[in-house]
Chains A and B, each alone.
Chain A
Amino acid sequence: MSFVAWNIITLLTIGAAMCGVLLVRRYLNKEMLKSNHQVTDPLMATVGMLFAILLGFLVANAMTRYEECRLNVQAESGAVGDIFRIARGFNSSIRLPIMNNCLKYIDSVSNDEWPALSLEKMNDQSWNIYSDIWSEISLMQPDTQGQSNLHQALVGAVTKLGECRRARAAQIQSHMPAILWLVIYAGAFITVCFSFFFGLESVKLQLMMTALLTYVLCMNMYLLVSFNAPFAGDVKIQPTAFGVNQKLFRQILNKDVQ
């Protein structure tokens, strides 16, 4: 969800919370609410702190998973880069298909697969190119000791590529369970509702505090929503690492072909 859309939802939620305060004030006597402060205060403190700790750690956890996704994309792009460079040590009949497939893989991932990631899908063409790279490397027969050393490194790099690709496939499917979302939304709702049960002298001050509380809760929940889906939304991971390699590989391949 975009930040602009979430801000609209936040404004509506703040409006609803302020209406809640006014509604409670309309139907419940201020003095009656005031006399219950000795209970309302500690109960809200308990509920509020519990929810704050839960939400805070969930946001921290989502940001950690986001960081892992970002580093994985970097590692995947790096593995393709290593395959490309190591392959240059072989003669043209061996190296050119591998190098071309590396570039095709990067093009396919950047242009076709990345938009699909936001829909939690991977691209079949990218999987096919990945399989082709594997076939070319595993069917290789090195003629010299030097080529054998390079072949070992190639196998290591393509294994790494596979690990990273599979990790990315798992990451786009991994989400917080629905029950956790239920607890989060219920917790936020209950915390805000507790703010209605104060009978303060100044309604304006109470409205302002309720609005601030609602705003901060909504903003943190936006962080959770955004970082929970690392390949979609406003903070999605970009294929920049692949883009850098794309340009470089094209230049090198053009030179090699000439």
Chain B
Amino acid sequence: MVTAVAISCMGVLLVRRFVDARILRDHHEATDPMMACVGTLFAILLGFMVANAMTRFEEARLNVQEEAGATGDIFRLSQSLPPPTNTEIMSDCVKYFDIVCDQEFKLMEDGKLSDQCWDIYADLWQHCTAYEPKTQGQSNLHQGLVAAMTKLGECRRARSAQITYRLPTVLWVVVISGAVSIIIFTLFFGVDSLVLQLAMTSIVTLILVLNVYLLDAFDSPFSGNVKVSPLPFEVNRTIFHKAMSKLPTIQNK
């Protein structure tokens, strides 16, 4: 940020060194509308892209919440199933929470998912599809289980796509070149007060750099300074560890 502002100020000084301020002032009638055109175009593009990146970030956050919720539903629905199905599914759910919280969120910073988690997910599916309900109540629970498993799968696959998706390189090229073009246009103004022009150019550069930083920060929801937290998983993990510790009590009911 500081570098960009320094370079843009040096640009102003360089232009002023080789081109008289009076000549630049005479060109304001052309510089003004051209910069307005370029500035408006870039502002809409960058603004939309930042909004889009923030929307994708929010979707990633909600997806984590839904995934934790789906796993929680699987845990609770399986509690009333007969043993050993209930304990198998419940302990798989708890293992899933543990690995997601302890390992997978760290791996996601490097764009990876845990193979162990995929295995547990596969085991959960296996238990759910192999279970044969004996009563209507168990059948209703089974239907709920299959629906919750489908939801868990959707969310997990969505998370897998979210950690790998990035804005295309060509988009970054257009954004950076657009920002540079606007800063270059600010150099073509000849304001009487050099200090004032340096201040205005610095402010424009700062705003552009901050917005590009926002775009970068929100583009990768699971890494960087702004990232989605595993809190929904952590909350459920604590609750379900306690529930598992009471398991013999549940089974005797």
List residues of chain A with CB under 8 Å of any chain B CB: 3, 37-38, 40-42, 44-45, 48-49, 51-53, 55-57, 59-60, 63-64, 67, 70, 74-75, 77-78, 81-82, 85-86, 88-90, 144-146, 148-150, 152-153, 156-157, 191, 194-195, 198, 200-202, 205-206, 208-210, 212-213, 215-217, 219-220, 222-223, 226, 234-235, 240-241, 244, 248, 252
| Residues of chain B within 8 A of A209, CB atoms compared | 27, 30-31, 34, 185, 188
A194 to chain B, nearest CB (A): 8
Q: Which residue of A lies closest to B28 (CB)?
A: A41
Q: Which residue of A lies closest to B128 (CB)?
A: A89
Q: Which 6 A-B pairs have the closest CB atoms?
A: A89-B129, A56-B44, A48-B37, A52-B41, A52-B40, A198-B30
List residues of chain B with CB under 8 Å of any chain A CB: 19, 23-24, 26-27, 29-34, 36-38, 40-45, 48-49, 52, 118, 122, 125-126, 128-133, 136, 139, 142-143, 146-147, 149-150, 153-154, 157-158, 160-161, 164-165, 168, 170-171, 173-174, 177-178, 181, 184-185, 188
> B31 to A149, Cβ gap below 8 A?
no
B92 to chain A, nearest CB (A): 14
9 contacts across the A-B interface (CB closer than 8 A)? A85-B153, A145-B139, A145-B142, A149-B143, A153-B147, A191-B37, A205-B188, A208-B188, A216-B42
Partner of A234, one of B43, B131, B157, B168: B168
| Residues of chain A within 8 A of B44, CB atoms compared | 52-53, 56-57, 59-60
> B33 to A146, Cβ gap below 8 A?
no
Point out which of B32, B165, B170 has the most chain A C-beta atoms below 10 A from its C-beta: B170
> A152 to B30, Cβ gap below 8 A?
no
Inter-chain CA distance A215–B48, complex, in Å, is 20
A97 to chain B, nearest CB (A): 16
> B178 to A216, Cβ gap below 8 A?
yes
> B170 to A89, Cβ gap below 8 A?
no
A140 to chain B, nearest CB (A): 14
Interface of B, secondary structure class, is: helix
A84 to chain B, nearest CB (A): 10
Partner of A152, one of B129, B143, B184: B143
| Residues of chain B within 8 A of A240, CB atoms compared | 161, 164
Asked if A206 meets B30 with Cβ closer than 8 Å, knowing A53-B40, A57-B44, A153-B150, the reply is: yes
| Residues of chain B within 8 A of A148, CB atoms compared | 139
| Residues of chain B within 8 A of A64, CB atoms compared | 52
B54 to chain A, nearest CB (A): 13
> A81 to B153, Cβ gap below 8 A?
yes
> B188 to A41, Cβ gap below 8 A?
no
Inter-chain CA distance A47–B185, complex, in Å, is 19
Inter-chain CA distance A19–B139, complex, in Å, is 77
Asked if A226 meets B170 with Cβ closer than 8 Å, knowing A63-B48, A202-B19, the reply is: yes
Partner of A56, one of B40, B122, B184: B40
